[in-house]
Amino acid sequence: MSHVVATQAGKGLTTLWRIMVLTWRHPWMVIITLASTIIMCVLQLWVPRLLGQAVDQAEGVLDGAGAVDALWTTAWILLVVSIGRGIFTMTMNYFGEAVGHHTAYELRLAVYEKIQRLSFSYHDKVHTGDLITVGMLDLEGVRMFFATGVLRVVLLGILIGVGAYMMMSTDLLLGCLALSFAPFVAWNSSKTQLTLRATWLKLQEMLQNLSRVMEENLGGIRVVRAFAGQDHELKKYDEASDAALALAHRRVDIRVSSTSLMNISFLLSMGLVLWVGGEKVLAGEMTVGTLATFLTFMTILQMPVRQLGLLVNSFARASTCGNRLFAFLDLDIEIKDKPGAKPLVVTEGTVRFENVDFAYPSAPARKVLQGVSFEGKKGETIGIVGRPGSGKSTIAHLIPRFYDVDGGKVTIDGQDVRDVTLGSLRQSVAVVQQDSFLFTTNIENNIAYGDPWAKEGRIARASEFAQLHNYIIGLPTGYETIVGERGVSLSGGQRQRLNIARSLMLRPSVMVFDDSTAAVDAGTEQRIRTAMKRFAKDRVTLIISHRLSSLMHADQILFIEDGAIVERGTHEELLALGGRYRALYDLQVKPGDDALEAAE
């Protein structure tokens, strides 16, 4: 147990050190902030002395001692000190926040870049809400550490340390009485902040769950409406929200109780100082000004002592949030360029699968592909068909190296896709997927996403190939028409055709259509296929589909079952074979033919 605690403590210190290294990337701002903090503390500690001196001088004026000029001088000094304290406090706060925000800016870019580079296998197993939590809440906890942690150490160290020394050196008894509230307040504040910290982490998990519920509801709002699931969704959200609200109320109760106890302890200490100090003043052992100095010191030290708990909380929060944030940033990227990887050079454009085995990282024991081998040459179309879950889409994902094979290899013109740069590979291989994600921008930008500087004529030609151009020019604003979030203003077939046009913009050497015309009607699909013939003659085309009419024209058709190729050949050859392909053909086509004959 002690070993685990020591390991966690060491990990926490390492995390805090990494945060400090990040803040020191802006040394001048850090130096200005620390210097302003020290000067502000010195001016703050000077104020009680000046006030005590002013009280004694005012008493002298009342006694006719002629101390008016001295009193005015003290008043002017106090005014200048107060103004200076305000200026340096503002400087400290401004540059302290600036350091935090610059650090957050760099971390935000690093997190976003990491999200872009992480492999599909990572995104398969993580929820979007978890990534948002890391990129927002955890990053915020790290951002605040310099202002609420590092600066507070300097601030409290000077105010409490020097202030306590000044009081104790003036009068030991009164100094002890004035600081008697400090141990209890420091202990109570630290305990409360750690409790609040634990409840905050639990509240964060609840809010994370709440965001998941909301995100899923917004993403599936059409399904919710279609199945009249509003009441169920509201109940689910209310339950998650009520749990978070109850914990938030508990946190308020803890904070209020702690504040009340700290106020009582402070007022008791101040009462003792007034009692004992008053006796000393009456006995002539102390001036009224000295007593006023003690009371002012107590007022000044009250807030720093209370902030000891906030300091503990800041370190705990930075350590926890930093651990999660840096653990994410330190993740190893599974799919990345090998050292010395060279760009893919496409000559003939031949795609070859050589005895490929593959299992998804989330289920390594289940082989999705086993011994898959086939070849596609320039100008050829390869059709892939099979039952759902047979491994068809996996083949599409392995060509652009969304995942790495476990056995065998995938090559393009003899070059293993693992040995070339990802950028060049994915410029040469375009996968048109069934799920067509569109950005909330105009149609032109969505089509030209892979090549933002493409000319309008090229965009229009890609749209013509995808049988979308005529529809677009019929819109009031044409290619400038804004599509809604995820393209909800377009039909499913229109989104798929736009997705096809976006892939054609890359002019890839290998085109993979992964059930990408499932939402397109048969007539439009036929026109797309006719238009694609000229485009396909210079590249390899793979068509994955459940609908045989989409791939019957292919030069070679592969029937996949349980991750293996069980039949291959042309449409006519497979029909003559009388196997699985023939059975699927009879299921999809023959019933329609029989119905037509009966009608005749």
131-145, 147-161, 188-202, 576-590 — which is least confidently predicted?
188-202
DSSP secondary structure, 106-122, as one string: HHHHHHHHHHHHS-HHH
Given a cut of 60, is residue 292 above it in pLDDT? yes
**pLDDT score for 516:** 66
**pLDDT score for 354:** 92
pLDDT digits (tens, 9 = 90+) for 70-83: 777 878 888 888 89
143-152, 240-249, 513-522 — which is least confidently predicted?
513-522
pLDDT digits (tens, 9 = 90+) for 333-353: 888 888 888 898 888 888 999
**pLDDT score for 67:** 60
**pLDDT score for 519:** 56
Q: Sketch out the chain's domains with CATH numbers.
A: 9-329 (1.20.1560.10), 351-434+509-599 (3.40.50.300)
Spatial distance between the Cα atoms of 394 and 376, rounded to a whole number of angstroms: 17
329 vs 302, higher pLDDT:
329
Q: Which of 83-97, 311-325, 379-393, 509-523 has maximum average pLDDT?
A: 83-97
**pLDDT score for 484:** 63
**Residue 354 φ/ψ, nearest 5 degrees:** -120, 100
**pLDDT score for 334:** 83
1 vs 475, higher pLDDT:
475
Given a cut of 60, is residue 372 above it in pLDDT? yes
**pLDDT score for 95:** 93
- pLDDT band, very low/low/confident/very high, at 600 (cuts 50, 70, 90): very low
Region 563-582: what's the mean pLDDT?
Answer: 89
**pLDDT score for 379:** 84
- Location of structure tokens 């409490």: 160
Question: Token pair of 407, please?
Answer: 């056995």
Given a cut of 90, is residue 162 above it in pLDDT? no
**pLDDT score for 591:** 54
Q: Which amino acid is at 119?
A: S
Spatial distance between the Cα atoms of 20 and 151, rounded to a whole number of angstroms: 12
Region 210-220: what's the mean pLDDT?
Answer: 73
Region 88-94: what's the mean pLDDT?
Answer: 92
- pLDDT band, very low/low/confident/very high, at 59 (cuts 50, 70, 90): low
**pLDDT score for 523:** 66
From the CB of residue 579, how many other CB atoms can be counted at a distance below 10 Å?
14
Region 2-24: what's the mean pLDDT?
Answer: 71
Region 47-56: what's the mean pLDDT?
Answer: 78
- pLDDT band, very low/low/confident/very high, at 423 (cuts 50, 70, 90): confident
Q: Phi-psi bin for 264: left (phi > 0), alpha (psi -120 to 50), beta?
A: alpha
- Location of structure tokens 């009607």: 521
**pLDDT score for 98:** 92
**pLDDT score for 269:** 83
296 vs 489, higher pLDDT:
296
**pLDDT score for 55:** 76
Average pLDDT, the chain: 80
CB-CB contact of 302 with 269 (8 Å)? no
Region 317-341: what's the mean pLDDT?
Answer: 85
pLDDT digits (tens, 9 = 90+) for 190-204: 777 777 777 777 877
From the CB of residue 60, how many other CB atoms can be counted at a distance below 10 Å?
16
Largest CA distance in the chain: 128
The pTM score is 0.71
83-97, 148-162, 528-542 — which is least confidently predicted?
528-542
**pLDDT score for 489:** 62
Chain-centre distance of CA 460, in angstroms? 36
Given a cut of 60, is residue 87 above it in pLDDT? yes
CB-CB contact of 120 with 397 (8 Å)? yes
**pLDDT score for 61:** 55
- pLDDT band, very low/low/confident/very high, at 518 (cuts 50, 70, 90): low
Chain-centre distance of CA 340, in angstroms? 31
